[in-house]
Structure 1
Amino acid sequence: MKSYDAGQQGLVQRYYLQSYALATESGLRGHDGFVMHTMAMQSLKLHRPEHCLGLAETGLNRAKGHVDAQTEALFRVVYAHTLAKSGKRRAALAEAEQARTLLTGAPGDEAPFWALAWGPPAASVYSRTAKVHETMGDHRAAAEQYALAATARPADTYARIVALDLVAGAEMHLKRGSIEQACATWHRAMDHMDGVRSVRTRKAVSRMRSDLARFRARGLRCVAELDERGRDFLAGS
């Protein structure tokens, strides 16, 4: 997780391969597929859709019938994202909808420990569904799903991830031209960054200040206040 946060993707990949070997040896049904699902997520981050589609589909096929509904939803929503990245819009939306149906259909199921790496399955499904909509250019729907993801995780335990979901939501608001809503969401994100030491949160704040640059000349108070907060954050972290 630390290597992923630091952007050391080569090292991350080696750890994933070791994890896959261990998961296979463990004999836990679905665990090996979950590592493949996680590797697909890394390929998505690296913008390599030609690698992630097969990984996500194979991971899902290994999980179906062997895991609870919430865990299957995690597999399906990542598969949906890989479909969206591959230009298969209709199939992507169908898989994302199936993931949401699985979440609501069996809310009492207990997910295995290895499926809880990023917190409650619902939060991960919302966050990944947001990425499906973002990939297809529906920034309003993406912002809504990122907001759901942020509220679905215990903030004390997952402060960094909550902050990053809110950052992503703010970026969606900005793409829609809703600058005041974007600033308000960025402020919420930075509230969760207090005490968090993370390369990704620092990069997110730097990117925020860059995105705000073109608005500074307009004299918008919300932009000036947020930019100042971002500058102070980077100076002190």
Structure 2
Amino acid sequence: MGPSRRGVLRTGLYSVALTVPGRPEIVDRVQAFRGGRLSRIGMGEVAVVTAMTRRIQELDDQFGTRHARPLAANFLVNTAVPYLRADADENVRAALLSATARLCHLTGYMAVDEGLHGLAQRYYVKALEFADAADDRFAYSGTLRGMSVQATDLGHAATALRLADAAAEGAHGAPQPRRAFFAGQQAHAAQTGDRQTALRHLATAERAMSRADLGGAAFASYDPAALNDHVSQVRWELGDIAGAVASLRASNRGLHVGYQRTTVRRRFMLAERYLRLGHLDVACATWARALDDYPGIDSGRVDERVAAMKALLRPHRGNGAARAVLARADTPARARGAAGVP
């Protein structure tokens, strides 16, 4: 990475740090460490990694991966990993390894969103190594689940289910939202190869969610909206198109306001399913709504849905609504391109 690029990322990273609620000291702690004024770390540095990971994830959810992943990669290489080389008590080191595992997992997830699957796997492997060193089975299982999601998206059904099953082993005795979190992915992974297994895992996820206390934040952002998305995916693969549409609509209604990238992507998917049902006008209206927010999202997987939309609508160019949507899609709002950060 060139000096000018590094400078831009550092400036952006500090700007992000200043927006972390209740953490105005983050920049000072990072600067003190990088400047050599701090050689032994404590729980304050663990809090820095945790808070920055959370804030970067919020940026990813709101604006898309290409805005957020360069910040995550820079913070991981230049702050989190150097922290691991510093002197620390044993409990501090274990907590820092766990926090760094979660940062690696997030960075791998964002690489998946950009279509950088080899890079994503390298981040995931490092996340597993850090989680294992910390003896953090929750972080380890969560990373295996992320790898299963990637394998599912790539069409590797057997690998996806094997990873999902391995991840679910860490859910025994866990709170209900966590059980739903893993069972939902097991259903998603099994959907293309084994109908009965997919439905069994889906029932487990629905049962766990129905028993969950969702008064606070759901585990790892897995909530009824996320479960409905899994229900929709399974119904779609099993040929229940109308059911898939109903579940996806329910998922979209329940999405948290901050999940803008997910909201836009799911609107594109909903439009595709409306078209499959033969509802061209409804599909075009849904695509038009997705395009309203598309310019503010920089995400590889959202871009894939735009490309799919164009291919699906070209045979319908004789329809005025379809022509209008295609015209909007063919007028790019911004340049696209990967950030080029390792």
Considering only aligned residues, what root-mean-square deviation do their CA atoms show, in Å?
2.0
1:161 Cα deviation after fit = 0.9
Q: Which of the residues 72, 88, 104 maps onto 2:179? A: 72
| TM-score, scaled to structure 2 | 0.62
Q: Which runs of 5+ in 2 are unaligned?
A: 1-108, 336-342
- Cα 1:110–1:30 shift into 2, 3 Å: farther
SS at match of 1:166: helix
Match runs of 1:38-77 below 5 Å: 38-65=146-173, 67-77=174-184
Give the Cα separation in 2 of the matches to 1:6 and 1:99.
29
Question: 1:86-138 CA distances to partner (integer Å, 9 max, x unpaired)?
Answer: 2x2122112212212221222336567xx52xx45322222122111111121
Give the Cα separation in 2 of the matches to 1:31 and 1:187.
39
- Cα 1:203–1:81 shift into 2, 3 Å: closer
Give the Cα separation in 2 of the matches to 1:92 and 1:203.
26
1:194 Cα deviation after fit = 3.6
CA contact (8 A) 1:144 1:169 kept: no
Report the residue type matching 2:291 in the other structure: M
CA contact (8 A) 2:111 2:120 kept: yes
Give the Cα separation in 1 of the matches to 2:128 and 2:307.
34
Residue 18 of structure 1 corresponds to which residue in structure 2?
Answer: 126
Give the Cα separation in 2 of the matches to 1:45 and 1:122.
21
CA contact (8 A) 2:176 2:212 kept: yes
- Cα 1:151–1:192 shift into 2, 3 Å: farther
Report the residue type matching 2:192 in the other structure: K
1:151 Cα deviation after fit = 2.1
CA contact (8 A) 1:205 1:230 kept: yes
Are positions 1:126 and 2:228 aligned together? yes
Report the residue type matching 1:167 in the other structure: F
Report the residue type matching 2:201 in the other structure: E
SS at match of 2:330: helix
Give identity over the alignment, percent: 25
Are positions 1:102 and 2:208 aligned together? yes
Residue 3 of structure 1 corresponds to which residue in structure 2?
Answer: 111
1:55 Cα deviation after fit = 1.0
Q: Which of the residues 242, 253, 256 maps onto 1:140? A: 242
CA contact (8 A) 1:167 1:186 kept: yes
Residue 92 of structure 2 corresponds to which residue in structure 1?
Answer: none
CA contact (8 A) 2:177 2:222 kept: no
Give the Cα separation in 2 of the matches to 1:103 and 1:191.
33
Give the Cα separation in 1 of the matches to 2:137 and 2:156.
28
Report the residue type matching 2:255 in the other structure: R
Report the residue type matching 1:7 in the other structure: G
Report the residue type matching 1:40 in the other structure: S
Q: How many residues align?
A: 227
Question: 1:56-102 CA distances to partner (integer Å, 9 max, x unpaired)?
Answer: 1111122121x32112111001101222222x212211221221222
The structure that has the greater radius of gyration is 2
| TM-score, scaled to structure 1 | 0.87
Residue 326 of structure 2 corresponds to which residue in structure 1?
Answer: 227
SS at match of 2:298: coil
Give 4+ residue runs of structure 1 displaced > 4 Å after superposition.
109-112
SS at match of 1:78: helix
Report the residue type matching 2:281 in the other structure: E
1:212 Cα deviation after fit = 0.2
CA contact (8 A) 1:143 1:170 kept: no
Give the Cα separation in 2 of the matches to 1:62 and 1:111.
20
CA contact (8 A) 2:191 2:238 kept: yes
